[in-house]
Copies of this chain bind each other. A is one copy, B any other.
Amino acid sequence: MTDPRELTLIRELLDELFPIARSLSGAGNRATLDRLASVIPLKTHEIPCGTEVFDWIVPEEWRIRGGWIATANGERIVDFDENNLHVVGYSIPVNHRLLFSELEPKLHWLPEMPHAIPYRTTYYNKDWGFCVTQEQYQKLRGSTEPLEVVIDSELDASGSLTIGELLIPGRKDDEILVSTYICHPSMANDNLSGVIATTLLAKSIIDSGQPSHTWRFLFVPETIGPIAYVSNNPDIVDRTLGGLVITCCGGPGKLGYKKTFKGNHLVDRAIELAFRDFKIDPERYPFCPTGSDERQYSSPGIRIPVATICKDKYHEYAQYHTSEDNLDFVTPEQIGEALKVYREVQMILDSNTKIASTVKGGEPRLGARGLYPSTGGSNKQPGVTNRSRDALEYDLDAMMWVLFLADGDHDLVDIAETTGVAYSDIAIISNRLEESGLIVRV
């Protein structure tokens, strides 16, 4: 389904970006945004550490160069260079000789998944730790001599938090927000898939010429990113009609979506139409105030309705937040499937418009405009027009509905819902009627 060149690009981005050590801040995030900037004209902002943003303070920048646990004879049992999940995110620098019993409280492992490294962070609590497989854990436990424990990191109060932004100005000032988070290290579904899908969604909007609405794309670290961004740009709240948080959209599982806090906002309805028109029955997750950055955008002071289309959703797959959320789990084709839905939703949100009839009363004369069969009485007679009967009837019914609802109060989404006709067909009919001068956009 997805364009093969696009699949190739997704493959490249997966392969290049997967190994990078991302976190709330730091070099990995900048490297990631640099690579994306080769695909779309991304701008980056640096917000200095210590900046007060709503209830929060931008934390120190984390620099991580390495980290390991080695035996007395120098054998590195655990090494950040092999997998950046090994070091707990935001670990302070450490250089110790420790017995296993001293080290153990700093170790995280997964009893249920012997080969997986868990993903852990300690952003706002100065601490450190290692995440290890069960095998590594057993090996460490077996060592009776002191272990060399090193984390070569730095927390720099003079650093900054990096945010990527792309504004695609539309014909209208009102905005739609698309946000993804760039703070997760080497995990493919959560959230390299979201970062890549967001980039390619932005790319296709740009490639299609000026959109109707203004689209704002944000690439931010989770939680602190949206808070810092909105705190610095409070004026976007009023002019943003809704949006999408793109995350976890490259797994092998079923497509689904988490609703906005409104539950039946235009964003939800656009997503429902996209799934309906694609004949996909998605998993539906009601809104809850836990999850990803919808937490911040939906919060009392902001209240931008945002939804998330997933495949597979965070918390819903066994590999979540482990080293097994890797490039075996996520494929370009899977990202392509989710991207297709995101693009349909984007098309619906962008093209949706209220319409109004230009005729002051009664139906317009469709026949005079070639939009109605010229012989009255029945549509059952074969050969009434040059077009096939089914196509004509279908068009006619849908066209009559569009004209009937063209009162300045209904929009194309309403009409697609009311009629059951595919949104894209409604949009085509609406365009045709606009060209005939029978309706105008409101």
Contact = CB atoms under 8 A, between A and B. Distances in A.
Given A125-B375, A376-B121, A407-B300, A365 B397 contact: no
A156 B357 CA distance: 32
A124 B56 CA distance: 71
Interface residues of A, number: 63
Given A122-B375, A321-B377, A359-B301, A55 B365 contact: yes
Interface stretch (A5-13, A42-50, A224-232): A224-232
B377 A119 contact: yes
Contacts of A4: none
Contact of A362 (B54, B88, B121): B54
Q: How many copies does the complex hold?
A: 3
Interface in A84-122: 88-89, 108, 118-122
A302 B403 CA distance: 13
A389 interface: no
Interface in A146-179: none
Interface string A221-243: 00100110011001000000000
Interface stretch (A32-40, A198-206, A291-299, A336-344): A291-299
A381 interface: yes
A122 B397 CA distance: 20
A267 interface: no
Given A122-B374, A375-B120, A377-B121, A299 B127 contact: no
9 smallest A-B Cβ distances: which pairs?
Answer: A301-B361, A289-B404, A227-B362, A125-B374, A121-B376, A300-B407, A120-B377, A289-B400, A54-B361
15 contacts: A55-B362, A88-B375, A108-B375, A120-B378, A122-B375, A127-B374, A223-B362, A227-B362, A289-B403, A295-B363, A296-B363, A299-B403, A300-B357, A300-B404, A303-B407
